[in-house]
């Protein structure tokens, strides 16, 4: 074939061709450093292409020869690619800013190192938030459990007290029944104090969650009644407002306490069924990404595509954790001994780490339902 010079055509495509020559040289350097088997003709073609790039005098045969050598070299170094090698190179600062000139910084971190730093710092931030929310939730759960246990014990004492009264009505001289009643009354009084103390500690816990949820504070009946009495007194100006009786005060206090307990139970359920599973699924996704990053960077296969893939992987982990939280009631009812030993948060972490298996199972379930409908 006759050699044809096409200098004028190269001018329009020189940017793409020049970049390809530089990329081929980068792959050749990697293959040589790692002892990969390469053909001598590939090396010769790439070296010749470097000279032709400088002289800007290409022939059809030389360009075809270069692209074929570049293709063969790319196959040889797979899964390493030009993009992954560029991602691990340190970037040179072309136009340094004031701080870079002051600290004499001549190069930036590579894309892979910046990505690792980002994932580590983000994972640490979410783990700190998860730890804080877990401890905060544990405080409310512990107080609610104490209230529930003490209330159940009070119900037992009340039932036993009724039995002892019947015994004393039949025999007023029964000393053991009288002593047991005194002991049970003392225990009941102590349990009442513990319940009130737990509710007092639970109230600021509920108020804190109201602020974070941007909910307006509830006005209890006692405060509302007092406000109405003061307003009535100010309008009529007929003397001091009437003082409510002790029974009304006790009833108002009881309504307030019940309201705090119910609101705390709602907040606890929201945290344990939605927020914590979502965070555990997110952390599971981060753990998977950090483990995969180690192998990718070690094998020089991390690239911009990997960064996008891992970002989506983390979002899918959070979504998987939320799905587990929403469906945990149905999962827990299944007769699977392994699931009985796991909490919804633990299963959310596993789902976030192995999100592919979760969505594969969902795809199979949807496919089986579709087949049944088609039949």
Whether 168 and 309 share a structural domain: yes
Under 8 Å between Cβ of 126 and 283: yes
Whether 124 and 196 share a structural domain: yes
Whether 211 and 298 share a structural domain: yes
Whether 57 and 146 share a structural domain: no
The whole-number pLDDT of residue 277 equals 87
Rounded Cα distance between 281 and 355, Å, is 9
Tokens of 292: 């995969």
Whether 137 and 52 share a structural domain: no
The whole-number pLDDT of residue 369 equals 65
Residue 299 lies in a domain: yes
pLDDT digits (tens, 9 = 90+) for 10-43: 444 457 888 888 899 999 999 998 888 889 999 9
Residue 346 lies in a domain: yes
No. of helices (H) and no. of strands (E), the chain: 14, 2
Residue 212 lies in a domain: yes
pLDDT digits (tens, 9 = 90+) for 267-291: 998 888 888 889 988 998 898 899 8
Whether 165 and 52 share a structural domain: no
Rounded Cα distance between 256 and 137, Å, is 21
Whole-number average pLDDT of the chain: 78
| Stronger pLDDT, 355 or 24, i.e. the higher one | 24
**Mean pLDDT value across residues 84-89:** 86
Q: How confident is the model at residue 229 (pLDDT cuts 50, 70, 90)?
A: very low
Tokens of 254: 């009881």
Residue 96 lies in a domain: no
Classified as helix, coil or strand, 59 is strand
Q: Which of 19, 53, 78 is the last residue of a domain?
A: 78
Identify whether 79 is preceded by a cis peptide bond (ω within 30 of 0). yes
| Stronger pLDDT, 274 or 152, i.e. the higher one | 152
Rounded Cα distance between 182 and 32, Å, is 91
Q: Which of 31, 57, 78 is the last residue of a domain?
A: 78
- As a 3-state breakdown, the chain gives helix, strand, coil percent values, each rounded to 5, of 80, 0, 20
SS (H, E, C) 323-368: HHHHHHHHHHCCCCHHHHCCCHHHHHHHHHHCHHHHHHHHHHHHHH
Least confident of 22-31, 101-110, 167-176: 101-110
Helix axes 344-353, 355-374, angle to 10 degrees: 90
Angle at 87 between CA 85 and CA 90, to 5 degrees: 100
Residues contacting residue 228 through CB under 8 Å, at least 6 positions apart: none
Whether 35 and 179 share a structural domain: no
Residue 106 lies in a domain: no
Whether 152 and 254 share a structural domain: yes
Element housing 108 (H / E): strand 107-108
108 vs 98, 202, 345, CA distance in Å? 14, 51, 39
Whether 66 and 159 share a structural domain: no
The whole-number pLDDT of residue 249 equals 37
Best CA proximity match to 31, nearest among 112, 83, 85? 85
Q: Which of 47, 78, 109 is the last residue of a domain?
A: 78
Q: How confident is the model at residue 69 (pLDDT cuts 50, 70, 90)?
A: very high
Whether 276 and 152 share a structural domain: yes
Residue 2 lies in a domain: no
**Mean pLDDT value across residues 48-65:** 84
**How many beta carbons lie within 10 A of that of residue 303, not counting itself?**
22
Burial 139-150 (b: 16+ CB within 10 A, else e): ebeebbebbeeb
Whether this prediction's pTM lies above 0.85 is answered by no
64 vs 5, 25, 70, 140, CA distance in Å? 13, 17, 10, 72
DSSP state of 116: H
Q: Over 50: is that where the pLDDT of 240 sits?
A: no
Whether 55 and 176 share a structural domain: no
Classified as helix, coil or strand, 336 is coil
Rounded Cα distance between 127 and 280, Å, is 9
pLDDT digits (tens, 9 = 90+) for 172-224: 888 888 898 899 999 999 999 999 999 999 999 999 988 887 665 554 444 44
Rounded Cα distance between 163 and 308, Å, is 70
Q: Over 90: is that where the pLDDT of 124 sits?
A: yes
**Mean pLDDT value across residues 311-331:** 79
Residue 179 lies in a domain: yes
Element housing 107 (H / E): strand 107-108
Whether 136 and 207 share a structural domain: yes
Least confident of 183-187, 260-264, 347-351: 347-351
Tokens of 206: 């509920």
Rounded Cα distance between 371 and 134, Å, is 43
Residue 104 lies in a domain: no
**Total count of domains within the chain:** 2
Q: The domain containing residue 59 runs over which residues?
A: 7-78
Under 8 Å between Cβ of 370 and 300: no
């Amino acid at each position: 074939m006759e050699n044809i010079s096409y200098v004028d055509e190269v001018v329009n495509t020189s940017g793409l061709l020049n970049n390809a020559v530089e990329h081929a040289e980068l792959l050749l350097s990697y293959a040589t450093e790692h002892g990969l088997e390469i053909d001598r003709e590939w090396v010769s073609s790439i070296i010749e292409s470097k000279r032709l790039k400088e002289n800007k005098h290409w022939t059809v045969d030389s360009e075809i020869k270069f692209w074929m050598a570049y293709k063969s070299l790319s196959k040889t170094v797979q899964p390493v690619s030009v993009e992954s090698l560029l991602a691990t190179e340190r970037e040179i600062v072309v136009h340094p800013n004031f701080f870079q000139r002051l600290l004499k910084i001549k190069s930036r971190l590579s894309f892979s190192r910046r990505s690792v730093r980002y994932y580590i710092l983000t994972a640490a931030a979410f783990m700190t938030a998860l730890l804080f929310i877990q401890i905060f939730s544990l405080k409310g759960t512990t107080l609610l459990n104490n209230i529930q246990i003490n209330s159940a014990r009070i119900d037992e004492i009340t039932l036993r007290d009724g039995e002892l009264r019947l015994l004393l009505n039949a025999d007023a001289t029964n000393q053991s029944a009288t002593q047991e009643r005194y002991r049970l009354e003392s225990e009941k009084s102590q349990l009442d104090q513990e319940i009130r103390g737990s509710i007092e500690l639970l109230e600021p816990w509920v108020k804190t969650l109201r602020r974070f949820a941007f909910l307006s504070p509830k006005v209890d009946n006692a405060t509302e009644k007092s406000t109405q009495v003061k307003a009535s007194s100010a309008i009529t100006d007929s003397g001091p407002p009437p003082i409510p009786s002790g029974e009304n005060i006790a009833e108002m206090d009881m309504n307030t306490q019940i309201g705090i307990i119910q609101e705390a139970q709602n907040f606890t359920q929201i945290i344990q069924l939605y927020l914590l599973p979502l965070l555990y699924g997110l952390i599971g996704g981060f753990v998977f990404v950090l483990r995969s990053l180690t192998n990718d960077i070690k094998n020089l296969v991390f690239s911009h595509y990997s960064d996008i893939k891992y970002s989506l992987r983390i979002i899918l982990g959070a979504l998987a954790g939320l799905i587990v939280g929403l469906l945990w009631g149905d999962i827990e009812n299944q007769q699977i001994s392994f699931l009985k030993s796991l909490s919804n948060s633990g299963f959310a972490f596993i789902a976030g780490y192995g999100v592919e298996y979760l969505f594969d199972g969902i795809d199979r379930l949807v496919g089986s339902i579709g087949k049944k409908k088609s039949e």
